[in-house]
Amino acid sequence: MSTSINWDLLHQEARAIMSKAYAPYSQFPVGVAGLVNDGRIVRGCNVENASYGMTLCAECGMISDLIASGGGKLIAVVCVDGSGNFLSPCGRCRQLLFEHGGKDMLLMTPDGPSPMSTILPWAFGPEDLK
């Protein structure tokens, strides 16, 4: 299925879910929205924990939403901070995005959409396990 990317809608969805973030310790809410290859939009927000290592990144929530709602492949993602500015995922979350979107998945950056092959060069993925 060919799905066009509505970056404005993804940005709105990321901002909306960011408002649901649970960030009492860092005061740094994050929201993320992704377009799935079947046209669905999946979302996630960060959920902190007093034991900081147990904090869940927004991307973790979005990947859970992806799997729980039927799976599929991410083709475009927008991640935002508390002001709605585009945010770069951490290394761990880049790996999550690569696993479920591949090298061609697009991530919105302040400079425009960029493929995961640029965001996470030399990525390790499912194909490396064959």
Residues forming the active site? 59
Dihedrals phi, psi of 84, to nearest 5 degrees: 85, 5
CA 78: distance to chain centroid? 6
Task: Collect all residues with Cβ–Cβ distance below 8 Å to 36 and sequence separation of at least 6.
Answer: 42, 66, 72, 73, 74, 75
Q: Could you give the CA distance from residue 30 to residue 73 in angstroms, rounded to a whole number?
A: 22
Reference 10, options 43, 38, 52; nearest CA is: 43
Phi, psi values for residue 39, rounded to 5°: 100, -10
Residue 29: how many CB atoms within 10 A of its CB?
20
